[in-house]
Chain A
């Protein structure tokens, strides 16, 4: 039995999605920009998907731009708005320090081109303080980008309140909702943002498909220039099969959210309770009340997360820490660091993220193997001469 508790990294396809992608691949080969029958077929498939994605986030289909995924959507929102606002003289960007690299590194790239950026630090709740957002904003601020749910600890940020603050200072507001869409109800109007990024493979759709929702009338420049695809907003022949898969995944997610949120929340809570009870020296990272229901991030005192992750994998349990570097090795969590946790805790924490195929038996299995592995790793560390890494 192999347990997959890494749904925040990526998720397996929902039933029917592989067939939808396969069918579109075989039967709808036309270019959606073509005038003829084959083009119309492709266009129809995309329109269908566009409507499904729009419904998932309570948006209008005309406001959905298909992209290659979350990273492109974040790049598109930030670079596209920054370029459009360059002429206004506003040259300042604000985000939280717990954003995904797609946002953080895009900020860095813009900083190299003369933009000033502010990353707002958090406290150990993992929820950003509105006062700190207010302090970060200036009259020069062009754009505020805050993620809806954090990928590592699952905390949900007060997006509507932040959007109101941003708009009050004349700035635009983008949210990276890659980890919330499909997991909890998302309504772009209620969030009050100007742009929202989502990714198909985080909610059981195919990789390589995502979308950026852009509120009608928002000042934006495309970042991919070329043909007149996606109403001149994103050039490049559309990946119709992946988009068809995204559409079906969106429909399925919307139907399942009410039931799944409760079911996964109960599984996650049970996993958490059992680990806290059976493994000494454990603690939950971040506020437990304001989280997406599938995610928990747990600190294991006197354990190196990298070793525990490998030991678990060798025992058939797939989990992760937040982020990996290009070689695949683990880096101290920038999220936990931004929350003010000491270094050892940024290196001893693991993320468990559940999803549609997760079961009680799987939770039991993880709880059965984990205490023994933690104890083994701790016993080696206390040996004379053992490496003093991640010590409390």
Chain B
């Protein structure tokens, strides 16, 4: 089978390519050039270029064809613009999920079809399996619970899932690295990527300020009663649940009061609302743009629901409320449900659906 592997230059997608090639597939490596900030950086250094070169070296070691395609424009329009817009609107975006469903398994998959490829593989820690009864493709968590990335793949449509392939999803990270060393891949010991790939130096605030000047979003920090307790330099700097970086000298209510957290962001009033930890607890959320991987449930459905990448899915009841929206009621209150993040619903380790938290 001809399979296109989206090669980032990291160890996971490199091993994905190696495994498929070893299985005898006709593997084509494709790397996406997504951004080029070399102009902002010192002479000769460009983060993304290094990764592309790593992908090329791995492809050469595996003796598979490798191409780099320029998706800068699409990445800017479909991922970065959304990232900036969401933060500026007081929400906490999840760019990796957009990149997966709107770029890797959309634009890149279309290109792959043009090259006669039947499937697109990535280095995600997730599994896709065909349910023998329904014939439907199921998205399952990766075997390595600490690396699982099914959360970031919830927005794949059924058609996208049917053509997706995650060769490392049934291994744990250590096994992936061991295999890379065994195959002598030049990226075997390359550190895992962290943070958001297109934000230089992990400084997302400056990144957004360069793209959307902060004068339009700065304003007051208020408590839950509406009293102004401070000023802030832009609501894009805050996320629900955040404690640090509020810049408050004294908390309202005296020196012995509890620590304050961001409990809400009000983009219309440019307000950051702070409150005690218990104000972060909520049992209900609604989500939009819901992608169901099963048939849309007619009634309520018992699931576990995950509200951010590092959140242990919690028992909940979900129901469709129309217009591509869903309501989730947790059995127990959850801390810091952040608008803009994904709420993903599981049946055991199978993703049944998910949407964007309102």
Binding site for B on A (CB under 8 A): 306-307, 310-311, 313-314, 325-331, 376-377, 380, 383, 385-387
Q: Are A376 and B114 in contact (CB under 8 A)?
A: yes
Q: Which of B36, B48, B68, B116 has the most CB of A within 10 A?
A: B68
Provide the bound-state CA to CA distance between A387 and B108, in Å.
10
Give the residues in chain A near B56, CB-CB below 8 Å. 328
Contacts of A376 in B (CB 8 A): 114, 116
> B49 and A327: CB pair below 8 A?
yes
Tell me how far the C-beta of B76 lies from the nearest C-beta in chain A, rounded to whole angstroms: 13
Interface membership of chain B positions 89-119, coded 1 if the CB is closer than 8 angstroms to chain A and 0 otherwise = 0000000000000000011001101111000
> Are B69 and A387 within 8 A (Cβ)?
no
Give the shortest distance, in Å, between A312 (CB) and chain B (any CB). Answer: 10
Question: How many Å from the CB of A61 to the closest CB on chain B?
Answer: 38
Residues of A within 8 A of B208 (CB): none
Does B176 sit at the interface, judged by CB under 8 A?
A: no
A330 contacts which chain B residues (CB < 8 A)? 70
Report which residue of B36, B38, B56, B67 has the largest number of chain A beta carbons within 10 angstroms of its beta carbon. B67
User: Which of B28, B33, B38, B46 is close to A329, meaning CB atoms less than 8 Å apart?
Assistant: B33
Known A-B contacts A313-B65, A314-B28; A386 and B70 likewise in contact (beta carbons under 8 Å): no
From residue B33, how far is it (CB to closest CB) to chain A in Å? Answer: 5
* Tier of interface size on chain B: 20 to 34
Closest 4 CB pairs of A and B: A329-B70, A328-B68, A329-B33, A377-B114
B111's contact among A307, A313, A326, A328, by CB below 8 Å, is which?
A307
Bound-state CA distance A355–B38 (Å) is 36
Partner pick for B70 among A306, A380, A383, CB 8 A cutoff: A306
Tell me whether A314 and B110 are in contact (CB under 8 A): no
Interchain CB contact under 8 A, A306 and B114: no
Q: Please tell me if the beta carbons of B65 and A326 are within 8 angstroms of each other in the complex.
A: no
The answer to whether B113 and A380 touch across the interface, beta carbons within 8 angstroms, is yes
Cα distance, A338 to B267, chains bound together (Å): 45
**Whole-angstrom distance from the CB of A365 to the nearest CB of chain B?**
18
In the complex, which of the residues A327, A328, A385 has the most CB atoms of chain B within 10 Å of its own CB atom?
Answer: A327
What residues of B have a CB within 8 angstroms of the CB of A306 in the complex? 69-70
Verify if B74 is at the interface (C-beta below 8 Å from A). yes
B110–A387 contact, CB under 8 A?
Answer: yes
**List of A residues within 8 angstroms of B107 by Cβ:** 387
In angstroms, Cα B70 to Cα A306, docked, is 9
CB <8 Å contact, B70 and A326: no
8 A-B pairs with CB atoms under 8 Å apart are A307-B111, A314-B28, A314-B116, A326-B46, A329-B69, A376-B114, A386-B110, A387-B110
Q: Is the CB of A310 within 8 A of B115?
A: yes
Q: How far is the CB of B155 from chain A (nearest CB, A)?
A: 14
Most chain A CB inside 10 Å of its own CB: which residue of B36, B107, B110: B110
Point out the residue from A314, A327, A386 that lies within 8 Å of B115, measured CB to CB: A314
Chain B stretch 30-58: residues in CB contact (< 8 A) with chain A: 33, 36, 38, 46, 48-49, 52, 56
Identity of the chain B residue whose Cβ is nearest the Cβ of A326 in the assembled complex: B49
A331 neighbours in B (Cβ, 8 Å): 70
Give min CB distance, A315 to chain B, whole Å.
9
Smallest CB–CB gap between B207 and chain A, Å? 21
- Residues in A with CB closer than 8 Å to B28 are 314
Instruction: Give complex CA distance A368, B65 in Å.
Output: 22
For B70, the chain A residues whose CB sits under 8 A away are: 306, 325, 327, 329-331
Q: How far, in whole Å, are A364 and B232 apart by their CA atoms in the complex?
A: 68
Q: Which residues of B contact A313 (CB under 8 A)?
A: 65, 67
Is the Cβ of A380 less than 8 Å from the Cβ of B49?
A: no
**Chain A proximity of B105: nearest CB distance (Å):** 12
Check if A327 sits within 8 Å of B33, measured CB to CB.
yes
Contacts of B116 in A (CB 8 A): 311, 314, 376
| Residues B49 and A329 in contact, CB atoms below 8 Å apart | no
CB neighbours (8 Å) of A329 from chain B are: 33, 68-70
- Give Cα A326–Cα B49 distance, bound, in whole angstroms: 8
Name the B residues within 8 Å of A386 (CB-CB): 110
Decide: B111 and A327 in contact? CB cutoff 8 A: no
Q: Within 8 Å CB of B36, what residues of A?
A: 327
**A391–B31 Cα gap in the complex (Å)?**
23
User: B74 contacts which chain A residues (CB < 8 A)?
Assistant: 387
- Contacts A306-B70, A387-B74 given: A311-B110 contact, CB under 8 Å? no
Our pick among B65, B68, B69, B106 for the contact of A314 (Cβ within 8 Å) is B65
Q: Which residues of A contact B49 (CB under 8 A)?
A: 326-327
Q: A327-B52, A387-B74 are in contact. Are A310 and B113 (CB under 8 A)?
A: no
- Residues in B neighbouring A311, C-beta threshold 8 A: 114-116
How many Å from the CB of B317 to the closest CB on chain A? 33
